[in-house]
Structure 1
Amino acid sequence: MIITQATLKHLDNLVPLFDGYRVFYRQASNTKAVKAFLKERLTQQDSVIYIAYINEVAVGFTQLYVLLSSVSMSPMYVLNDLYIDANYRNKNIGTALINKAKALCKEKHYKGIIIQTETTNPAQHLYQREGFVKDTDLMFFWTND
């Protein structure tokens, strides 16, 4: 397995994975919009995307965004997206991608990594196995108005 930080040259390999990720979360497939979104992320460099390859086939990715904590006055990463192609699950690809994210966090001396996921996401077991702890102190609220 090879994990590399994505650049524009990886865009065509990322699109089907990211589209599959969105479909997993009950969004309609839209490869044109996905390509535009990812191209903007890569061009603006407002996220870090790692892509995993097995035998030159793109099989998974993770995307990190920087979040700033006013209280600790420190940056941290939000591991916003993690997706492994269904044909390649249970092969430690998710673990390898998470470890790559952890290494970047340590290299940059960031406070840590936060993950937000659906309560029904089976990957919660992976997160816990990789040392993430469910936060019982904070509550998140949402609005779209």
Structure 2
Amino acid sequence: MIRKATILDLDQVTHLFDQYVVFYKKPSNYEKHKTYLKERITNNEATIFLAFDDSNLDIAIGFTLLYVTFSSLALNKIVILNDLFVDTKIRKSGIGEKLILETVAFAKELGSNLIRLRTAKNNIIAQGLYHKMGFVRDEVLYSYDLTVK
């Protein structure tokens, strides 16, 4: 089952989010991550979907964290699939696909015709899922970041 997270799910989201951050070689910091996620939920700045195993609806096994922005060229909303994570013990069971399908339904509900994501170049397993789900890797545009100090 996939459902939208609420503030009541904060501990479950934080537990998974902390694992996600560690996967990307960042330090675990449960309280800091909890504060960040609480702000996103409370301020309606993000939409989070949680995945549950149908046999145990008490423990979340995956999540997506989505942000909505706009495209000047598309003259439309864009859904940024910023984070997707499935518990390592349950991967390859279709949960990632279900989370992406829920993201697609969310984008359609908003009237958006584009979902955008970034992933690590070495995250081959996730890239396989994204290609399978119809995402097309951009070979034209570069992505740039600027760290502001």
> Do they superpose with TM above 0.5?
yes
Which range moves more in the overlay, 25-34 or 106-115?
A: 106-115
Structure 2: runs of 5 or more not aligned: none
* Aligned residue number for residue 4 of structure 1: 3
Question: How much is the aligned-residue C-alpha RMSD, in angstroms?
Answer: 0.8
Shift of 1:137: 1.6
Shift of 1:30: 0.5
TM-score normalised to structure 1 length = 0.96
* Aligned residue number for residue 30 of structure 2: 31
- 1:90 equivalent among 86, 89, 92: 92
Identity of aligned residues (%): 40
Cα distance in 2, alignment partners of residues 81 and 49 from structure 1: 9
Counterparts of 1:26-105 in structure 2, within 5 Å, are 26-54=25-53, 55-56=56-57, 57-105=59-107
Specify the SS of the correspondent of 1:132: coil
Structure 1: runs of 5 or more not aligned: none
Shift of 1:111: 2.4
User: What count of residue pairs does the alignment treat as equivalent?
Assistant: 144
TM-score normalised to structure 2 length = 0.94
* Aligned residue number for residue 133 of structure 1: 136
Specify the SS of the correspondent of 2:74: coil
Cα distance in 2, alignment partners of residues 6 and 115 from structure 1: 20
Cα distance in 2, alignment partners of residues 48 and 101 from structure 1: 10
* Aligned residue number for residue 127 of structure 2: 124
Runs of 4+ in 1 over 3 A off after TM superposition: none
